[in-house]
Chains A and B, each alone.
Chain A
């Protein structure tokens, strides 16, 4: 067995430790100034590579223990693992030192990555298998560890990307305490342990390719010239904390349960996000106005009858105008209304004037939303968030194919805009299109996409019942050198964005007289 008991050698005489002598090049006994108060020599900064050891001279062939963080008293956690192995692992009767060390590495990663607030632990199966390979792919080391510790399973199943990830409760016997436990790992295992962060990151990137792309973008994201000045002027506690978090972990990105891609850059206040640069290029933020409210239109889908169809026409008109009736003249009811979508119907009704207007205008849609929220008031918000998250995920993928770097932020996207006019236009336009068109397809209403540079986009695409056989259309240049298209010219397209049987009609509403 390669385990040793936890070091309790607090009574070691500090004067016995040795330190490098700059004069002779050899080693001399440490003097008191080298030692911090209450420290033993082994706890001093490590100068001999990974694994601790401090200033103490390493004898030839001597192994250095690696300290793993385990719950409760470390020995108790190990005992539970070995006894569970003896009683449950009949296909693998031999618990070798290497296997136990592999399990302990997984155990330490599970415990170190715990959520202290919610008292939960999780580690995807793919990640844990990278630290213990000899038991086959059917064996889930993280599950084995949590079962051995007697933890309750809270959520069983797959993550957003289909990888097996179970959520476990804290082991009760640990009482939330931890202790480091020294273990002698084999050279291969020690190497894996030293590179564990890179291994876990690699596993996460492979499981979530979009997250990997986002991390690449965040690595290129820097504070612009005006960032510090604007950050110094912030007064709200939440905003100041967001800046601190960003500066501590600028490349941090995570995937939420709704499938939303969060990042410390994305959580910055909007005024600061404009001051970022991506790869040295200025950024523009394209924001979907009233995204959740417009997306409510998707609940009309699949509802039969003329009453639903008639209400949908009204909803589309209201949504495309920016909900002027629901939000009020000065948009004073906007935030109350959006909050009400995440509350119980009766609470929202009393709290929000906008919600009452909405219910009056669209009674069928409101009744359906009440049915969705009857069991869980936050269910509606969760559905809308996950739909929006899927749209932004597709946007990041598609933009990446075009070489456009984007950071998703809830219902908007921050994109890098190159200095070249055409590329700048392409980055902005394609992002706006990829935000608007899926919402249009889902909800039937075209949202307004507002750019932080003052340019706004709204796309109106109407379906044709059936494409004419040969529409009279001339796009070839005329003798005057212009397109020869009158205002409102129709460009029929057989392949539609909306997936209907006919075509999509694109109407150029701007005057073509402006052409050169």
Chain B
């Protein structure tokens, strides 16, 4: 689970500071995928 926080921030950072628009889009997709996966469900219950 330690990796999870790193992965989230990593994807969020890339979404915001990605060099090009496709980069930022890729970051967003990764962020969504991370949020949808089971391992992040404990973040805020089943609301995700």
Contacts and interface: CB of A to CB of B under 8 A. Distances in A.
Contacts of B19: 421
Interface in B4-28: 4-6, 8-10, 12-21, 23-28
Contacts of A492: 43-44
Main secondary structure of the interface of B (DSSP, over half): helix
Given A495-B2, A514-B24, 20 more contacts: A421-B20, A422-B26, A425-B18, A425-B23, A426-B10, A429-B13, A433-B9, A470-B45, A470-B47, A473-B47, A475-B35, A483-B15, A491-B8, A494-B42, A494-B43, A495-B1, A495-B5, A497-B2, A508-B12, A516-B24
A476 B47 CA distance: 9
Interface residues of B, number: 34
18 contacts: A421-B26, A422-B23, A422-B27, A425-B14, A461-B5, A470-B45, A473-B47, A475-B48, A483-B15, A483-B28, A491-B43, A493-B43, A497-B5, A506-B12, A508-B12, A512-B16, A515-B15, A516-B24
B32 interface: yes
Interface of B: 1-2, 4-6, 8-10, 12-21, 23-28, 30-32, 35, 42-45, 47-48
B5 A493 contact: yes
Given A493-B4, A515-B15, A421 B44 contact: no
Contact of A459 (B9, B25, B42, B43): B9
Contacts of B4: 493, 495
B21 to A, nearest CB: 5
Nearest to A513: B16
Nearest to B25: A516
B44 A473 contact: yes
A425 B15 CA distance: 11
A352 to B, nearest CB: 37
A430 interface: yes
B3 to A, nearest CB: 9
The residue in A471, A475, A511 that gathers the most chain B C-beta atoms within 10 A of its C-beta is A475
A474 interface: yes
A516 B31 CA distance: 14
A20 B20 CA distance: 69
A504 interface: yes
Nearest to A426: B10
A49 interface: no
B43 to A, nearest CB: 6
A439 to B, nearest CB: 15
B29 to A, nearest CB: 10
A474 B43 contact: no
A22 interface: no
Contacts of A61: none
A508 B26 CA distance: 18
Most chain A C-beta atoms within 10 Å of own C-beta, residue among B4, B13, B21, B43:
B43
B5 A510 contact: no
Contacts of B9: 433, 459, 506
Nearest to A475: B35
A492 B15 CA distance: 19
